[in-house]
Each structure stands twice: as structure tokens, then as C-alpha cells.
Amino acid sequence: MSEKGNIKRGVSLYSYQEEFYKGELTLEQCIAEVSKTGATGIELLPEQMLKGFPKASDEFVDQWFGWMDQYRVEPVAYDAFLDNKLFANRLLTLEENVDMMVRDLKLANKLGFKVLRTLVSTPLEVIEHSLPYAEEYGVKIALEVHAPFTFGTPWFEERMEYIIKSRTKWFGIMPDLGIFVKKMPPVMEERYIRDGGTPKIIKFVSESYANGVNKDETFEVVKGMKEANSVDIAYAELARHIIYTDPIILKQYIPYIMHVHGKYYDITKDFQEPSIPYKDIVQVLQDAGYNGYINSEYEGNRHIQDFKKVDSVKQVKNHQQLLKSLVGS
């Protein structure tokens, strides 16, 4: 039996995207807000938040580590974006893709990050050719397991096969908890109703999803409804791309999990995420011996910004309260 895991709490600064974009929070203020929650891990999206990206001056680096000390936090994960479609007339070559990966590995190292998140769209060949550089700069490459992909899909199995056969220590996975959506998020459901969806049809789609009805079949049923409008059909289409995976599957991949994205869409007044079974997920991770961070990643803003002011600071604070109640620290 494995020892109980030691899960630490962190925050992806992506959670504050609304306020950062509007100029209501600076990068330092985002870090300060993380510190106020008691979380200690910082996840950064340099392309979004680092002025002058992909360059970082020595002055900024000094300031960055000064913030880490001042707010008693540490760099945890660097979120990279491989811009394979940078040009309108062609995809990047393998060499260009690897150069971009190396650029990010260097910057991640410079800022003290030990894990670099790469997207589901990153070709395996690019990762293979980047691993010597990952080792050189001491930064592990973690493939985000993100909906609509999940464990057991051909995409995932191909990458896991490489990780296991190569025995590399520099390539692993980063589950995004958006692959464990057990019920359609209420904020999504409510947004589609506000946008003109038929309440009973929207509810039908949500209930069908929760009951495990085949999503393609639900979509076809809605398309065939005479009273269904374009918003209803769009919601049924959305549901096809939301997925639920039994959290127990995490147990068999613990040795390869480098980091966890704590995706959530809303936190209720009683500090629960209504669509993702956090208690079950954390229990599996702890029991299986996961030692690492779960970082808050708030994505509910886009579903409520049409009718009220987004308060990401409060949302993150509430999510951290949920995590604290589950991990015990």
C-alpha cells in the first residue's frame, strides 16, 4: 500500500485573466492575491503576463524572485503555447517547433520553474527532440491531459507508451480536472438560457449528460426537436465536448503526474464545485501517494461576464478554501 500523498495548493495566474486583461490587477498583485489564500505555488502564462515576452531582463528576473520571497510563494509551473500555426501559409517545421520549445525551457529555468506545461496539440516528435534540452535546463515537460482528450484515448496512449518505453524522467503528464466533469456546469447552463436557449431543452441536455446518455444521441434528439432553436443545438453540441472520466484512473498514472490543473467553473456558497467531484479526485490522489501541487484554474468568468462583474479574486479564494478542506493544509 502506497503512503498517503502530500498535496500542496497553488494557483494558476490564468485564474485572474479577467482582472489582468482589464488592468485591474498587475502581475505583482496577482501574486499577492495568491499569497493571501495561503497557497504557495505560482503558475505563470508568460505569453499573457510577461511584458517583453519571450525576453526577460535581469532586472525583471530579480524582481520576480523578490516577489517570490516577499509573498512566500514559489514558481511551480510555466504554461507554454507551441504556436505551430504561427504563419498563415504553413505549419512550423520540426526544427522551428523545437527552437520554440527550447526558448520556453530556457525562460522557465531562468524564472525558477521546474515544470513546463505543453498543450495537447504539441506533436510527440517535437517533445522527443526537446527532451535533451529539458534535461539540460532542469525543466520537466508535462503534457496537459485536457478535454475532449482523456486517459485511454489513442492520443493519450501513444504518448504514455513513449513515456514508459523511454523511461524518461523529463516527460510526464498534467491532468486537467476538466476531464472529470460529472454534471454540466450550472454557469454554462444558465448562460445558454440567458442567450435565448429553451429552458426545458437546455435542462434535457444537462440531465441526459448527468445520466450518462450517449452525447451524440442527445445531440441528434435535440436537432430533431421542432421547437429547438440554434442556441439549444449549440448547447447540445457543447455537451459533446465535455467529458467525464472516473477519477479512479488517476491511481495507475501517479508516477507520471508532474502537476495537476484544478479546473473549476464556479464555487458555491458552501465551498463546493457543483460539476466536478473534487472530494473523489483528491481522495484518489492522496491515497495513491501523489506528492505535488493542485493549482486553481478558474474558467467560469466567460460564462457570467455578460450579466455581472467577474470577481476572480473571490472565486480563487473560495476554491482554495475547498482545496484546503480536502488536502488538510
Question: pLDDT 10s digit of each residue in the chain, 329 long?
Answer: 568 889 999 999 999 999 999 999 999 999 999 999 999 999 999 999 999 999 999 999 999 999 999 999 999 999 999 998 999 999 999 999 999 999 999 999 999 999 999 999 999 999 999 999 999 999 999 999 999 999 999 999 999 999 999 999 999 999 999 999 999 999 999 999 999 999 999 999 999 999 999 999 999 999 999 999 999 999 999 999 999 999 999 999 999 999 999 999 999 999 999 999 999 999 999 999 999 999 999 999 999 999 999 999 999 999 999 999 999 87
Rg (CA), the chain: 20
pLDDT of residue 1: 52
Q: Can you give the pTM of this predicted structure?
A: 0.96
Q: Please, how many CA atoms are within 13 Å of residue 212, restricted to the half-sphere of its CB?
A: 2
Q: How far apart are CA 287 and CA 127, in angstroms?
A: 31
Q: Do 65 and 72 contact (CB within 8 A), yes or no?
A: no
Q: Do 53 and 47 contact (CB within 8 A), yes or no?
A: yes
pLDDT of residue 329: 77
Residue with the three cell numbers 504518448: 159
User: Widest CA span of the chain, in angstroms?
Assistant: 63
Residue with the three cell numbers 488517476: 250
pLDDT of residue 2: 62
Closest CA to 303 of 293, 315, 294, 295: 315
pLDDT of residue 3: 81
Q: Do 219 and 239 contact (CB within 8 A), yes or no?
A: yes
Cell of 67: 516577489
Residue 89 exposed, middle or buried by CB count within 10 Å (0-12, 13-18, 19+): exposed
Q: Please, how many CA atoms are within 13 Å of residue 37, restricted to the half-sphere of its CB?
A: 31
pLDDT of residue 26: 98
- Sign, Cα dihedral of 47, 52, 53, 57: negative
Q: How many residues does the chain have?
A: 329
pLDDT of residue 249: 98
Residue with the three cell numbers 527532451: 131
